Amino acid sequence: MPILDARDVSKHYDVRGIQTWALRGVSLAIEPGEFTVLAGPSGSGKTTLLNLFGALDAPTSGAVAIDGQDLAALSRSQLAQLRLEKLGFVFQAFNLIPVLSARENVEFVMELQGVPAKERRERALAMLAEVGLAEIADKRPLEMSGGQQQRVAVARAIVSQPRVILADEPTANLDSTTATKLIETMERLNHERGVTFVFSTHDPQVIARAHRVVRLRDGQVVADEKGGA
């Protein structure tokens, strides 16, 4: 069974009475353990599709399922619980909480999950060490570089043990060296932990490392190919 499954999905937005189509009849299944890129230029629909897979938005038509669950059949609270239990998110803007330390940011989702404080701390410190950031556990986001902030975001996404990590342009604000280190970290976590990764990007470096590349243009899938990794 696919971990993520979009079936004939379309999505449009109405802006000042003008209807704009972001996706048009997209069908795409992501299997457990994949390391997949949604590639395409700005406006191709890749971020919209990622948001649908993340239960952050709903399609205008068609259906989206996560782990066999049809999202349209779930209430708002059930969708929130599904995101908490099965999904991790890495955003282009990092989205760290500025008043919390790196460790506290990594602990945050586990706190929502009800993980006991001692276990939260131990798991957060272990995950920061795994992404090479043990030495900045007590620093706040403004004291970190962009690459460090993004790795904290990855640690936060992984530590809650989700089935899938959804990453929206994760290297967009990083220099090439830092971006390479970040992708290598995520590749290792995919290989060692079996976590499914789905990225939206137009970064050639990320596309070159993907195991599967799904190319979108004008809201439609135009190619689905094995990656270069």
What are the residues facing 7 on neighbouring strands?
63
pLDDT in tens, the chain (229 residues): 899 999 999 999 887 788 889 999 999 999 999 999 999 988 899 999 999 999 999 999 999 999 999 999 999 999 999 999 899 998 877 889 999 999 999 999 899 889 999 999 999 999 899 888 999 999 999 999 988 998 898 889 888 888 899 999 888 777 888 788 888 888 888 888 888 999 998 888 889 989 999 999 999 999 999 866 5
Question: Distance (Å, rounded) from C-alpha 62 to C-alpha 223?
Answer: 20
Supply angle C-alpha 142, 129, 96, rounded to 5. 30
Chain position carrying tokens 């929502």: 112
Question: Distance (Å, rounded) from C-alpha 12 to C-alpha 174?
Answer: 31
How large is the angle between the packed helices 102-112 and 117-130, nearest 10 degrees? 130
Phi-psi region of 33 (alpha: psi -120 to 50; beta: other; left: phi over 0): left
Question: Distance (Å, rounded) from C-alpha 158 to C-alpha 193?
Answer: 10
Cβ-contact 148, 156 below 8 angstroms: no
Chain position carrying tokens 């993520």: 4
pLDDT tens profile 157-172: 888 888 899 999 888 7
Task: Give pTM, 2 decimals.
Answer: 0.88
Structural domains of the chain, ranges and CATH numbers in brackets = 4-94+157-226 (3.40.50.300)
CA-to-CA separations, 28 to 1, 12, 57, 199, 222, in angstroms, rounded: 13, 18, 17, 14, 12
Supply angle C-alpha 99, 170, 98, rounded to 5. 5
Question: Distance (Å, rounded) from C-alpha 171 to C-alpha 16?
Answer: 33
